[in-house]
Chain A
Amino acid sequence: MDLYFPIAEMSINVLLLLALGGGVGILSGMFGVGGGFLMTPLLIFIGVPPAVAVGTEANQVVAASVSGALAHWRRGNVDFKMGFILLIGGFFGSTFGVWIFTKLRALGYIDIVISLCFVTFLGIVGGLMVAEGARSWLRSRSSKPVSTKKLHQHTWLHGLPFKMRFRRSKLYISALLPLSIGVFVGILSAIMGVGGGFIMVPAMIYLLGMPTSVVVGTSLFQIIFVTANVTFLQSVNNQTVDVLLALVLVISSVIGAQFGTAFGSKLKSEQLRALLGILVLAVGCKVGFDLIVTPAHLFSFAVTGGH
């Protein structure tokens, strides 16, 4: 059964889309991730124009992060003050990101930049996850006691000005830190069509030293606003948000996430992390392979002027 999508301007098999959305939904339920970093490359693999894949995914991530953020908010796991600082940065970052995106698109470089971003970040994050998963698996076999660390180390980062107190996170740090993390993830969010949780979460734990309990909820909270900003600006500047495609993906991923959560509770967390790492690496390798292998068509065309 094929459906014609008005912004992507192509027919796509709906069953294939439901399978992709459901599959990514299962994974996001299992691992507690947004799934944008898997969905955008998958959409590109099935032939959706990369610019449309990015714009549409930003829209889908809004929906995915709302349900997640609400669940965390009910449990009180959102540091609103921190989230607010992050989203101010994210707002500027994503606005700048969409501006870069529009420029690169006019020059014909956007597809390659999207792919390079995915190769880089999927490679780094996937690699780290696999390494971490393997290390904790080895540790659990040798059954040595895990060394207890201080809550966080003091570095030069703590000497920065504009210090602020974040009660929920039990932190007293410079506002410039979360602000710049917000800007960086915002830029990536705009260019890659992802929420950026896979970068935001480790950055909050390792750079800011936030307690893990509030990290995911706070990250999801600010992702709602940043991806909403990306959705809006991509709609205005590039008209690359396909609401129909986003809707099909939202429905299938919400259903998939239900099953994913049930599966996830049956697996050990280090197994989960290693599994997700392998998957992330595999997608990154595929994107990278497509960049290196001689393309079937060296030429491409685009209509210029108007729409």
Chain B
Amino acid sequence: MKIVKRLLSLGLLLAFVPTPALASSLVVDLSSNQIEITTNFTGTNLLLFGAIDRKGDVVVVVRGPLRPEVVRRKERVAGIWINRVAVTFEAVPGYNFVASSRPLDQIASEETLRRLQIGSERLHLQPVGPANKALASTFRKGLIDLKKRKALYSGKPGKVLIRSEKLFRADLKFPSNVPTGSYTAEIYHFSDGKAVSVSRTKLSVQKAGVEAAIYNYAHDHSAIYGIVAILIALFAGWLGGVVFRKA
């Protein structure tokens, strides 16, 4: 029985790894799995490093947090610019960072890149509900362009440096406006245009310290937050008045 089970599981394994001879071992680690946004946060870099066991290219994609986003377009109405049309997309990454050891088009085919959603233009963004195809495509492009301008999406990929065809490293840049939430870093090892190995690692961006306390309180206890905000203002105003009078 045991042998049959083993053979079965081996068969299953072979079925899921069609080209076992090609599979490489990919080892990756991050300098930290957590980014804390504190009072003096102006953006940060994480170091991603690892090793590949053979010649090839490395592509790093950091993506997160996935949330529905409404995209609005301004139109001129009676001389002024007003938000008119809106399209909501499902599961839009708030942040999308790409780094590669060579230009992407030299690493893999457009089709492969599109399937793996490597590169901001290749993100699969689906409009919620039935939407006009042409409109959805325009809005999708508009959203990606805007996020690129806000440094939330990579335009030109960042650099992955490979040393002696084995060790690699990449700087992952997070701007000051990086949204909070959970992120996934995907590391692909490409060889001859094929992804021979992939590794995934989670990381999170969170507000910390006073920032986190204020933000969480504002959302979880908004009534008390409002009252405290008023009390602080009343006290500050009274104090200012007292200092004023003595000055």
- Chain A residues with CB under 8 Å of chain B are 2-4, 6-7, 9-11, 59-60, 62-68, 70-71, 108-109, 111-112, 116, 224, 228, 231-236, 239, 241, 243-244, 246-247, 250-251, 254, 257-258, 291-292, 294-295, 297-307
The reply on B176 being an interface residue by CB < 8 A is: yes
Q: Tell me the residues in window 88-120 of chain B with beta carbons closer than 8 Å to chain A beta carbons.
A: 88, 92, 94
User: Within 8 Å CB of A233, what residues of B?
Assistant: 226
**Chain B residue at minimum C-beta to C-beta distance from A306:** B67
**Chain B residue at minimum C-beta to C-beta distance from A294:** B81
Question: Do B67 and A63 have beta carbons less than 8 Å apart?
Answer: no
CA gap between A250 and B69 in the complex, in Å? 34
Question: Do A300 and B72 have beta carbons less than 8 Å apart?
Answer: yes
The A interface, classified by DSSP as helix, strand, loop or mixed, is helix
Chain B interface category by residue count = 35 or more
Residue in contact with B225 in the complex, picked from A71, A241, A292, CB distance below 8 Å: A241
CA gap between A59 and B237 in the complex, in Å? 11
Question: Do B143 and A108 have beta carbons less than 8 Å apart?
Answer: no
Question: Do B69 and A67 have beta carbons less than 8 Å apart?
Answer: no
Question: Do A301 and B227 have beta carbons less than 8 Å apart?
Answer: no
A4-B40, A7-B214, A67-B240 are contacts. A300–B71 as well, Cβ < 8 Å? yes
Question: Do A4 and B37 have beta carbons less than 8 Å apart?
Answer: yes
User: Within 8 Å CB of A254, what residues of B?
Assistant: 236-237, 240, 243-244
A7-B218, A250-B237, A294-B81 are contacts. A299–B226 as well, Cβ < 8 Å? no
Q: Mark B140-167, 1 if CB is under 8 A from A, else 0.
A: 0011011101000000000000000000
CA gap between A232 and B233 in the complex, in Å? 12
Question: Do A241 and B214 have beta carbons less than 8 Å apart?
Answer: no
List the 4 closest pairs (A to B, CB-CB), nearest first. A66-B237, A235-B226, A67-B241, A299-B142
User: Within 8 Å CB of B223, what residues of A?
Assistant: 232, 235-236
The reply on B230 being an interface residue by CB < 8 A is: yes
Residue in contact with B229 in the complex, picked from A10, A64, A235, CB distance below 8 Å: A235
The reply on B129 being an interface residue by CB < 8 A is: no
Q: Tell me the residues in window 62-87 of chain B with beta carbons closer than 8 Å to chain A beta carbons.
A: 67-75, 79-83, 86
User: Within 8 Å CB of B88, what residues of A?
Assistant: 304
Residue in contact with B238 in the complex, picked from A70, A109, A292, A303, CB distance below 8 Å: A70
User: Within 8 Å CB of B210, what residues of A?
Assistant: 6, 244
What 7 additional pairs, Cβ within 8 angstroms, besides A66-B233, A292-B80, A299-B71? A63-B240, A67-B238, A71-B241, A291-B80, A292-B81, A295-B74, A300-B72
The reply on B42 being an interface residue by CB < 8 A is: yes
A-B contact pairs, 5 of them (CB 8 A): A4-B42, A11-B41, A112-B83, A231-B226, A232-B223
A82 shortest CB reach to chain B, Å: 21
Question: Do A246 and B229 have beta carbons less than 8 Å apart?
Answer: yes
A65-B237, A112-B82, A232-B223 are contacts. A299–B139 as well, Cβ < 8 Å? yes
Question: Do B39 and A298 have beta carbons less than 8 Å apart?
Answer: no
User: Within 8 Å CB of A232, what residues of B?
Assistant: 223, 226-227, 229-230
User: Within 8 Å CB of A246, what residues of B?
Assistant: 229, 232-233
User: Within 8 Å CB of B75, what residues of A?
Assistant: 298
User: Within 8 Å CB of B237, what residues of A?
Assistant: 62-67, 70, 250, 254
Question: Do A10 and B244 have beta carbons less than 8 Å apart?
Answer: no
User: Within 8 Å CB of B39, what residues of A?
Assistant: 3-4
**Chain A residue at minimum C-beta to C-beta distance from B243:** A254
CA gap between A205 and B142 in the complex, in Å? 51
Question: Do B236 and A247 have beta carbons less than 8 Å apart?
Answer: yes
